[in-house]
Amino acid sequence: AHLDRIAETDGKVHAFLHVDAEGALAQARKVDEAVKAGETVSPLAGVPLALKDVMTTEGVPTTVGSKILEGWLPPYDATVTRKLKEAGVVILGKTNMDEFAMGSSTENSAYGPTHNPWDLDRIPGGSGGGSSAALAALQAPLAIGTDTGGSIRQPGAVTGTVGVKPTYGGVSRYGLVAFSSSLDQAGPCARTVLDAALLHEVIAGYDEMDSTSINEPVPPVVAAAREGLTGDLSGVRIGVVTQFQGEGYQPGVLRSFQAAVSQLKELGAEIADVSCPSFDYALPAYYLIAPSECSSNLARFDAMRYGLRVGDDGTRSTEEVMSLTREAGFGPEVKRRIMIGTYALSSGYYDAYYGSAQKVRTLITRDFQKAFATFDVLISPTTPTTAFKIGERADDPMAMYKADLCTIPANLAGTPAMSVPSGLSDEDGLPVGLQIMAPALQDHRMYRVAAAYE
């Protein structure tokens, strides 16, 4: 049924870069046989899922939305992919994304934009717009995204779906094509909080193949979501981050947020304002740290190891082939980031740019620590605006970067955060998201609040 739905709708939505009908049906049959044989299967066995094209899949194309990896067939599965397969989850295919997960609208994909199912002229958010659009278009009930600065939560918000960035290190990065390694985090996307929690527990956990994986028990997110579904939040202390309002925020988004605050109070939560002054510097710090790490990570796309190779006709030097390949294979946003990052890391500028950004990162972590001394979770709008029109910000990188204003602090601090649907804006009738943030390894706290609120 989901493959049929994709065939019916994806001509308009373009959520998928690759549909693996054969692989999906084979996995579904395997689960079916196991069930018929009376074997115990995982709670998500047989459930279809859309996988962001940043996760390697053995023998199935993985492009990361880039021409530079066109035609590459990974020789191995990412840990997330492996865990999904082991749980009997049916991977329908790979979803569209901004090239190398750099963007906030999925317009930076080398394979064309994804359209928001709520209004096909609008963006589905980014970088993981394909995964969230697949959920909103009822092409898949579950999806996987990755969030470096907001790429799970922001598409979740603008498509009216749930998106979770777990604690950094909670889900393995092995096989996740790296953008900014100290920020990248994979997580679950779904249409309900409980669905996201069930998927979270399938993909999370320690992995010796990832040096920053946390060797701690997986937070009890399913139990927390179930507890939240009782609708009682008495005793839960919620802080409203005062930095995330005012200029640049649509009035419709702010009204939706105020309504969410009232609703959470009615559910019994104690709510007060909290100021996190360093969050004002999160965006500039992120746009130095992320490009710096990207400039280093993307050095491996050298025309020798994977995918595209241009100009290798025996007349050119290795350097020329590398340079022609990178020129042809990377899109403009990726090139911009590599240039910014290379500059910020160069001697003479390192302390002024990269060094300062790392100091801001520490200040942001401290603001979180201080706020979490008083509050169990913090809340804000997920995005300053609802889905904007395709093309509207295409020539204005600064306007594009602002889409992740509220989501970036959690990446810099490594703390978990999620977006849960918060109704439709009374301004334009488009979905709005409520962001809930928790301390590291306390992912379950935000699931409880989100399930009660949803």
Which sequence positions are flagged as catalytic?
A: 52, 127, 151
Q: Is 341 among the residues that bind ligand GLN (CB under 6 A)? A: no
Q: Is 101 among the residues that bind ligand GLN (CB under 6 A)? A: yes
Q: Is 419 among the residues that bind ligand GLN (CB under 6 A)? A: no
Q: Is 104 among the residues that bind ligand GLN (CB under 6 A)? A: yes
Q: Which of residues 143-162 bind ligand GLN (CB under 6 A)?
A: 147-151
Shortest Cβ distance from residue 182 to ligand GLN (Å)? Answer: 13
377-381 β-sheet, strand order: 16-19, 90-95, 48-52, 142-146, 186-190, 162-165, 417-424, 431-437, 377-381, 237-241, 270-274
Stretch of 96-104, 110-118, 193-201, 444-452 lying at the interface with ligand GLN (CB under 6 A): 96-104
Look up residue 355 and give its DSSP letter: I
Size of the site for ligand GLN (CB under 6 A): 13
Shortest Cβ distance from residue 40 to ligand GLN (Å)? Answer: 37
Stretch of 60-68, 102-110, 254-262, 304-312 lying at the interface with ligand GLN (CB under 6 A): 102-110
Tell me the one-letter amino acid at 408: I
Helix or strand (DSSP H, E) at 85:
helix 79-86
**Contact predicate 117/135, CB 8 Å:** no
Among 266, 241, 183, 267, residue whose Cα is nearest residue 436: 241
Measured from the CB atom, the residue of 96 and 151 that comes closer to ligand GLN is: 151
Q: Which of residues 65-84 bind ligand GLN (CB under 6 A)?
A: none
Shortest Cβ distance from residue 168 to ligand GLN (Å)? Answer: 13
Q: Is 53 among the residues that bind ligand GLN (CB under 6 A)? A: no
Interface residue with ligand GLN, options 375, 404, 441, 446 (CB under 6 A): 404
Q: Is 28 among the residues that bind ligand GLN (CB under 6 A)? A: no
Strands 48-52 and 431-437: unpaired
- Token reading at 50: 């859309």
Tell me the one-letter amino acid at 59: G
Q: Is 127 among the residues that bind ligand GLN (CB under 6 A)? A: yes
Shortest Cβ distance from residue 151 to ligand GLN (Å)? Answer: 3
Q: Is 103 among the residues that bind ligand GLN (CB under 6 A)? A: yes
Q: Which of residues 255-314 bind ligand GLN (CB under 6 A)?
A: 290
Query: Which burial class, exposed, middle or buried, applies to 160 when counting CB atoms under 10 A from its CB (0-12, 13-18, 19+)?
Result: buried
Query: Which burial class, exposed, middle or buried, applies to 4 when counting CB atoms under 10 A from its CB (0-12, 13-18, 19+)?
Result: exposed
**Contact predicate 224/216, CB 8 Å:** no
Measured from the CB atom, the residue of 270 and 333 that comes closer to ligand GLN is: 333
Among 287, 280, 286, 282, residue whose Cα is nearest residue 242: 280
Shortest Cβ distance from residue 285 to ligand GLN (Å)? Answer: 12
d(CA 424, CA 158): 10
d(CA 296, CA 294): 5
Shortest Cβ distance from residue 312 to ligand GLN (Å)? Answer: 31
Q: Is 3 among the residues that bind ligand GLN (CB under 6 A)? A: no
- Token reading at 329: 């294979």
Measured from the CB atom, the residue of 186 and 224 that comes closer to ligand GLN is: 186
Measured from the CB atom, the residue of 28 and 360 that comes closer to ligand GLN is: 360
Positions that interact with ligand GLN (CB under 6 A):
101-104, 127, 147-151, 179, 290, 404
